[in-house]
Homo-oligomer: A and B are copies of this chain.
Amino acid sequence: MPLHPDRYFDPNPTVRDLSRRLYQGVAGLPLVCPHGHVDPKLLADDEPFPDPAALIVVPDHYIFRMLYSRGVSLESLGIPRRDGAPVETNMRKVWQLFADHFYLFRGTPTACWLTHELEDVFGVTQPLDGRSAQAIYDQMLACLERPEFRPRALFERFRIEVLCTTDAATDTLEHHKKIRESGWSGLVLPTFRPDAVVNLENPDWRSEIARLSEVSGITVTSFSRYIQAIEARRVYFKEMGATATDHAFPSPYAAPLSSAEVNGIFDRALAGQTREDDARRFNGHMILELARMSVEDGLVMQIHPGSYRNHNRHIFETFGADKGCDIPTATEYTRNLLPLLNRFGNNPRLRLVLFTLDESTYSRELAPLAGHYPALRLGPPWWFFDSIEGMLRFRRSVTETAGIYNTAGFNDDTRAFCSIPARHDLCRRVDAAWLADLVSRHILDLDDAEAMIADLALNLARETYRL
């Protein structure tokens, strides 16, 4: 269906008119993107996108996950196998298969985003289905060949004020360097994500440590050298413009270890002799070390906990990570974070942004914590909850306890570059709809709501991430 100007607004005329008014105040604001997964190489090289399927289907686990759940094989969608065995390479066929199954996305944010992206970026206004698939493919392909559809041109057209990427601790940030040195004015900043050198369960941990030694110039032979190497990388990331770090701990568990304990665990890990529970205990110690570093260097610390990664072993072994088979688990914050918050929670130099995949913690733990500790902010509804109902549940569960000023504004958190405007637009519309509802019930007055929509759309993200 073509994009309706009042989409996502309540149909009650009073609320709809308020929603419109609030939305129009922020619809044209630039996009601040403090957390996401766009590959910086895209903007460094500025090459044309190859084709619609390679742009939209192959890299997006939100999409192929759903098709897989209804029996479509990942091979037939062109997802590369680890063993190099053949998969579909005819991108027209991949696109057709996607379009044939697009009805599966009815009522999902993926459908909302894609509809917006097709119309707004590519001028496609007819609904995507099996019949329209090839014509839409042709129309998009013709666009992609034009210079104004190159990544940097789109970045500018999207009015992106700043785009933060997510980068391994061992990354040389060569693409970021290339962007800087190109003279192009787009602001693309790295984010320090050291999971691969922190998580002892990572099968490549030792080779990652070797790489850490190499890029930091500090040979990691002990825990203290390891900490020095991490700190050196943070200095480098800051020089390259980073304002934040990101951490995907399985849980927000924090518990300090004695020097002897942490050295022992680290030495065992270096020797390839990690014991049961070492990884969990090491995480509990490292979350505190990383928070200490953030206090010292001012990098905003993000924690994205609670995902059971690669739940489907067959898919992981055949296709690798990030293939739509990470499944959330119940997550506990109140007791787990106690040692961290008692050490640093009152310190205004720490800015800790918490995310969750367990909505039952919004009102029970996260809002009470954020409504008290100066160091805390709540990240926007994450992953499965980056959606219309998900955003409404978040605001309705969190605001009465923590207000909006202990929340971090919006993150698009996406690797799908062309979906960025759709995601921000959806969030701005949902925020407008939420505020309009509060105004219509006389819980807020309109002046307050107008200030709040601007804060939600832009100011909170800028301020939270020290951008």
Contact surface of A with B, Cβ cutoff 8 Å: 1, 4, 6-12, 14-15, 65-66, 68-71, 103-109, 112, 127, 308, 311-315, 324-330, 332, 334-335, 338, 341-342, 345-346, 348, 357-360, 363-365, 367-374, 376, 384-385, 387-390, 396-397, 399-406, 433, 438, 440-445, 448, 451-452
Contact = CB atoms under 8 A, between A and B. Distances in A.
A452 B104 CA distance: 10
Contacts of A406: 69-70
Contacts of A374: 68-71
Nearest to A346: B314
A118 to B, nearest CB: 14
A104 B371 CA distance: 10
Nearest to A445: B1
B7 A443 contact: yes
A342 B314 contact: yes
A402 B105 CA distance: 8
Number of copies of this chain in the oligomer?
Answer: 3
Given A8-B441, A388-B400, 17 more contacts: A1-B448, A11-B12, A11-B440, A66-B371, A69-B374, A70-B405, A106-B404, A107-B404, A109-B400, A327-B368, A329-B334, A358-B364, A359-B364, A360-B364, A384-B401, A389-B396, A389-B397
Nearest to A392: B396
Contact of A312 (B330, B345, B358, B389): B345
A127 B328 CA distance: 44
A442 B6 contact: yes
A103 B14 CA distance: 24
A403 B104 contact: yes
A312 B348 contact: no
8 contacts: A9-B441, A12-B12, A66-B403, A69-B374, A103-B405, A106-B444, A328-B365, A358-B360
A340 to B, nearest CB: 12
Identify which of A112, A328, A438 gathers the most chain B CB atoms within 10 Å of its CB: A328
Given A327-B369, A376-B69, A438-B107, A385 B363 contact: yes
A402 B314 contact: no
Given A69-B373, A69-B376, A107-B399, A311 B1 contact: no
Contacts of A104: 403, 405
